[in-house]
Amino acid sequence: TLIIINAEIDLSVASVMGLAASVLAYMPLQGQPFWLAIVVSLLIGAAAGAFNGCWVAYVGLTSLVVTLAGVIGYRGVARILLEDASIGEFPGWFDALGQQGFLGPFPFGVVLFFVGVVIVWVVLQRSAYGRFIYVIGNSADVARYSGVNVKRVKMTLFLVSGFVAALAGVLLAARLGAVRGSTALGFELDIITMVLLGGVSIFGGSGTLTGVVLAI
């Protein structure tokens, strides 16, 4: 949502989800502790987002091109790690995290979603950083001439997008109980549809998180 308001787009989120889930399944097969697999999965997501952000913010390439390449690249790495295998047998507590109630009937992912909504709503609607996102979405040149560090804002947005996508991939693995290289395939269209259906302009500069939550 924040990236599209910023007049950019990230098509690679589903591929980052799949990559993070694949790393999560792959590392224990190599004898690594499961907690380390979770940490590395999240860090890889953040690194993928930072990689996208570097090309967009500092090199100046179009986010559509960069993240479309990411769709192929990150998904390719996931398939290399797991090939055609379906890897499961996660710890019981991890499966329970995605399949059983964490707070009443709500699983952990749903609770975390609403906590995230509150945090992002405050950032977007009640902070200077949120105003920067809107201003850049309307006109990056105007924002730059006004003293806004456009490159840093864009870089941060892509980095956070990658981290959140990886977190979603880890939670999806917990819900499914097994991971393949094709996990979350096609989710990018669902994600973008939710944002646009919520009233966020594809051209940037307008939209609210409330509308997106209603669309979801």
pLDDT digits (tens, 9 = 90+) for 182-195: 999 989 999 999 99
Two structure tokens written together for 173: 């693995």
pLDDT tops 90 at residue 83: no
Q: Is the pTM of this model over 0.85?
A: yes
Inform me whether the pLDDT recorded for 88 exceeds 90: no
State the Cα–Cα distance between residues 39 and 98, nearest whole angstrom. 17
Q: What was the pLDDT predicted at 84?
A: 85
- Give the side-chain half-sphere CA count within 13 A for 30: 11
Average pLDDT over residues 83-112: 91
Q: Which residue has the tokens 């999806």?
A: 172
pLDDT of residue 194: 95
From the list 11, 51, 5, the residue with the least C-alpha distance to 143 is 5
Instruction: Report the pLDDT value the prediction gives residue 89, as an integer from 0 to 100.
Output: 85
- pLDDT on residue 55: 97
Higher pLDDT, 85 or 14: 14
Question: Exposed e or buried b for every residue in 133-154, given b needs 16+ CB within 10 A?
Answer: bbbbbbebeebeeeebebbebb
Closest of 18, 28, 10 to residue 170, by C-alpha: 18
41 contacts 166 by C-beta, under 8 angstroms:
yes
CB of 205 closer than 8 Å to CB of 134: yes
DSSP 58: I
23 has pLDDT over 90: yes
Of 15, 21, 64, 70, nearest to 42 by C-alpha is 21
CB 52 within 8 A of CB 63: yes
pLDDT at 10: 96
Reported as a single tens digit per residue, the pLDDT across 136-153 is 999 999 999 999 999 999
